[in-house]
């Protein structure tokens, strides 16, 4: 894994790149809503100014459950551990900000 890849919270200004990576799915329609939704945090992986991955953390059950959603990795970066890095950074953030979390659930879609 290239160490120049950084994971950070997503911004409104990331929208065009997120849409480019997420054509034909639900994410472009809900991206701005998710950024404003209480207890939801969207994370992006960035390399060379380009968004190459994304995931979302939504805290439910009064902050006791983390629902992991919307895992995306640019095809050029698959198989290199990028989603693992996104997941690790997301979990680190959640542990610090939401210490009551005891359960993590993941959604999947074919």
What's the predicted TM-score (pTM) here? Answer: 0.89
Confidence band for 24, pLDDT divided at 50, 70 and 90: low
For the stretch 27-81, pLDDT in tens is 778 889 999 999 999 999 999 999 999 999 999 999 999 999 888 899 999 999 9
**CB-based contact 100:63 (threshold 8 Å):** yes
Q: How many CB atoms lie within 10 A of CB 36?
A: 8
DSSP state of 10: -
What's 63's domain CATH number? 3.40.630.30
- Domain extent at residue 17: 6-106
81 found inside a domain: yes
Count of domains for the chain: 1
């Amino acid at each position: 894994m290239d160490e120049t890849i950084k994971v950070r919270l997503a911004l409104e200004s990331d929208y065009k790149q997120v849409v480019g990576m997420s054509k034909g799915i639900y994410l472009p329609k809900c991206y701005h809503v998710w950024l404003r939704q209480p207890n939801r945090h969207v994370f992006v992986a960035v390399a060379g100014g380009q968004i190459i991955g994304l995931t979302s953390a939504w805290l439910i059950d009064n902050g006791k459950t983390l629902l992991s959603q919307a895992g995306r990795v640019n095809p050029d970066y698959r198989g290199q551990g990028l989603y693992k890095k996104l997941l690790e950074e997301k979990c680190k953030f959640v542990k610090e900000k939401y210490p009551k979390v005891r359960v993590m659930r993941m959604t999947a879609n074919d």
